[in-house]
């Protein structure tokens, strides 16, 4: 049983690494994505807090959004299942702390406070099956005093039913038009 689990996790980690064969597969340096990062910071500052001791960023990728989250925290901790992404994130944001893993396999020994002030999962949840999505949200609630997630509008049918079950949820939409119109859903809550 355990060897099947290890094989399953290895295949997910390898798949994530293949996506990062070339840098920036999601075009996160474009004005569209930089807009999303800046607007997400604005929502955090307006609704959750202007500055934190610690933020945990689940699915941090190569650290593009970490650069923005660093403006809001003494320390950002990033976790991603791609080793390649983690190595680039470490170069991009040397003052943050990155680890290869996912929210379940990674063993959090920091921060020393019992919870992170904020746990984020931006553009990650839609990768997860219904079961994993539900348990990821539960784990985020355990780890964070507050949480924020975002996802592109087309993923609403998959992600919304899970998000709407969370007590005290608040939401906003962000939209941007360049060569195409993109709309993101953002949701946050305090635990
Ligand atoms: C579309 S990118 C988003 C990157 C960044 N968070 C953003 O908003 O631009 C999704 C990231 O989630 C990571 N990822 C997918 N499933 C994951 C999991 N179960 N645990 C941690 N990271 C995961 C991928 O490797 C990838 O770096």
pLDDT tens figures, 167-179: 999 999 999 999 8
CA 50 to chain CA centroid, Å, is: 19
Task: Give the CATH number, domain containing residue 83.
Answer: 3.40.50.150
Quick one: pLDDT band at residue 12, thresholds 50, 70, 90? Answer: low
* 170 burial type by CB count under 10 A (0-12 exposed, 13-18 middle, 19+ buried): middle
Chain-centroid distance of CA 186 in Å reads: 12
Average pLDDT over residues 185-191: 97
pLDDT tens profile 36-91: 999 999 999 999 999 999 999 999 999 999 999 999 999 999 999 999 999 999 99
110: pLDDT strictly greater than 80: no
Q: Is the CB of 80 under 6 A from ligand 1?
A: yes
Give the structural domain span for 128. 2-21+28-190
Q: In this structure, are residues 182 and 174 in contact, taking their beta carbons and an 8 Å threshold?
A: no
Residue 59 Cβ inside 6 Å of ligand 1? The answer reads yes
User: Which of 84-93, 113-122, 143-152 is the least confident region?
Assistant: 113-122
């Amino acid at each position: 049983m355990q060897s099947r689990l290890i094989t399953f996790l290895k295949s997910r980690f390898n798949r994530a690494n293949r996506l990062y064969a070339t840098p920036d597969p999601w075009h996160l340096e474009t004005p569209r994505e930089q807009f999303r990062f800046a607007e997400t910071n604005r929502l955090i500052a307006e609704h959750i807090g202007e500055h934190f001791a610690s933020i945990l960023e689940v699915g941090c990728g190569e650290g593009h959004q970490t650069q923005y989250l660093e403006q809001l925290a003494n320390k950002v901790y990033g976790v991603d299942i791609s080793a390649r992404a983690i190595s680039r994130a470490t170069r991009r944001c040397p003052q943050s702390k990155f680890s290869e893993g996912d929210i379940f396999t990674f063993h959090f020994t920091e921060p020393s406070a019992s919870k992170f002030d904020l746990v984020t999962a931006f553009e990650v949840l839609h990768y997860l099956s219904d079961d994993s999505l539900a348990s990821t949200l539960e784990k985020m609630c355990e780890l964070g005093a507050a949480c924020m997630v975002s996802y592109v509008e087309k993923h609403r049918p998959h992600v919304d039913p899970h998000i709407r079950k969370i007590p005290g949820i608040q939401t906003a939409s962000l939209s941007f038009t360049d060569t195409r119109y993109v709309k993101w859903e953002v949701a946050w809550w305090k635990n």
